[in-house]
Amino acid sequence: MAFGSFNSGRGAGAPQSEINMVPLIDVMLVLLVIFIITAPLLSHAVRIDVPQATSAPVDSDPAKIDLAIDASGKVFWNDAEVTLEDLPARFASVSKDTPQPELQLRADKNTRYEILAQVMADASRSGMKRIGFVSTPEPPPAAK
């Protein structure tokens, strides 16, 4: 038993080797009562008549403009070479389209930053909202 005895013989001050289960059972019963009370509250749901709507998926993807800049600074608009002076007019004409096309910038890693910054500034000033960078992902490291 977990309770001490009143006889003074044989190890009256010795530690008890039995676990007192009464506090553990009390905690378990309190938790059980709490869960019994709160479980019905959690499963209560409000019924709402939600309207039904159907729509067809939009198949039109916005156009993409592939703007490439090579290492020498030449600019290519969808594989056709253009000059840096022609870009603002082209950006202004396509920025008015609905939906606005996405400008995908591809630049050689040896391209001067000045040219890339000028192209991005021209696109932004012309009202282009969707500008993205295209890069080549690195190959995964070889397993050893």
Instruction: Say if residue 53's pLDDT is above 80.
Output: no
CA 3 vs. chain centroid, Å, equals: 59
Phi-psi region of 132 (alpha: psi -120 to 50; beta: other; left: phi over 0): beta
Q: How large is the average pLDDT for residues 128-138?
A: 85
What is 64-133's CATH topology?
Nucleotidyltransferase; domain 5 (3.30.420)
Query: How far, CA to CA in Å, does 109 sit from each of 27, 65, 69, 73, 135?
Result: 67, 20, 10, 11, 10
Query: How far, CA to CA in Å, does 74 sit from each of 77, 111, 113?
Result: 10, 9, 13
Chain segment 134-143, per-residue pLDDT in tens: 887 777 777 5
Instruction: Report residue 12 as tokens.
Output: 């009256």
Q: In the chain, what are the domain boundaries?
A: 64-133
Chain segment 10-28, per-residue pLDDT in tens: 556 677 778 888 999 999 9
pLDDT value, residue 122: 93
Contact 95, 101 (CB under 8 A): no
